[in-house]
Amino acid sequence: MDFTLSAEQAQIRDMVAEFVDEEVVPVASEIDHDDEFPRDLVSEMAELGLMGMPFPEKYGGAGLDYHSYAIGLEEISRGSGGLGTVVAAHISLAGNMLYEFGDEDQKQEYLVPLAEGRDIGAFALSEAGAGSDVPAMATTAEKDGDEYVVNGGKLWISNGSVADTITLFAKTDPEAGNKGISSFIVRPEEDDGFIVEGTEEKLGDKGCPTAELRFDDMRLPEDRLIGEEGEGFVQALKTLNGGRITIAARGVGIARAAFEEARDYANEREQFGQPIGEFQSIKHKLADMDTKIQAATLLMHKAADKKIRGEEYIKDAAQAKLYASEVSREVANEGIQIHGGYGYTKDFPAERFYRDAKLNEIYEGTSEVLRNTIGDQLLET
């Protein structure tokens, strides 16, 4: 196995890292404080081709491999966890649904603007009573002539209040369980009956609006159906599986930010006449933090490699997301500990890293669900 980045991958890493250091890191605390969608930064990322990294150039994307995409998202998340979620929800979920399952007309009309960054995407799957239990969703889409009439609501939708295109899941056959779920394209500005109820006030992940949506007799033309009726559940699972690689990347990015901040602080902060980094207890913390980050990074790229090769990667993506999520929280926690009392204040970014890291263990598959997924895969072999 070759662990050396290709020239293109190294170039992508350096380009995104430079953008993050110059444009994102200086305003990260402001994004966290104001909790407003960073539209200017998103526009700058679009100009750099970062809003369509893995999509082919013919659809407006940058045509990057999944390793490069993961590397890019890792760097973005190193600067701001919220911005990392904005990009991941836009590309891995909304964009990828259209790329993998949309027809050519849908790709040209809806994917191209997403990949070029002219539009923002969201993925509307979860509901108040249907988080991990997807088939329990109550949103329905009833066929009426050449339209579908949608009623219901969605919760915890990243980018939901700012999205131009939303991939929505609803039951077209409420009696058929997961085989009765279908997916649709929603255009909030065009579709009457689309309502944003509000956005959540969250622990972290600031800058990425997490919205509650409602649909009151929202009419969608039948050409907004993605694939065939009844295919939505399988589409969602496949999309989330790929998305888990990028949430692993978000976890690695946040963990790196927490580690680098703690390492620099340990070199600067003096107690008992020497930098605290000279104390063995601090050295051991830093050693463990870096080792975990390296392991999480390898799991992330292993899953990406299998995806690129077209091999089965359900277990690999679940393991990468599970481990990187927990590592990000553990490393961020140790970062606070190394900072001592300062780490518990907003004068240092250590506490922000912890708040941003926690979400990784919850969205796109909780750690508990992922352990079930991994166990199922192991028992199948």
Q: 7-120: which CATH number, 3.40.50.620, 2.40.30.110, 1.10.540.10, 3.40.50.970?
A: 1.10.540.10
Which of 108, 193, 181, 120 shows the shortest CA–CA distance to 150? 193
Distance CA 158, CA 37 (A): 11
Looking at the chain, which residues constitute the CATH 1.20.140.10 domain(s)?
233-380
Q: Judge whether residue 242 has pLDDT over 90.
A: yes
For the residues 219-223, what does the mean pLDDT come to? 98
pLDDT at 284: 98
Give the pLDDT mean for 352-367: 97
Residue ranges of the chain assigned to CATH 2.40.110.10: 122-230
Residue 267 has pLDDT above 80, yes or no: yes
Counted residue by residue, the chain has a size of 381
Q: Can you give the pLDDT at residue 307?
A: 97
Per-residue confidence band for 380, with pLDDT thresholds at 50, 70 and 90? confident
Residue 117 to residue 50: CA distance in whole angstroms: 8
Does the pLDDT of residue 9 top 80, yes or no? yes
pTM of the model: 0.97
How much is the pLDDT for 314? 97
Average pLDDT over residues 364-371: 97
364 is catalytic: yes
Asked if residue 300 lies in contact with residue 320, where contact means CB atoms within 8 angstroms, the answer is yes
> Which of the residues 326, 334, 351, 364 is marked catalytic?
364
CA angle 280, 286, 287 (to 5 degrees): 85
Task: Please give the CATH architecture assigned to the domain spanning 233-380.
Answer: Up-down Bundle (1.20)
| Torsional class of 376: left (φ above 0), alpha (ψ -120 to 50), beta (otherwise) | alpha
Looking at residue 381, what is its pLDDT?
59
In CATH, the architecture of 122-230 is: Beta Barrel (2.40)
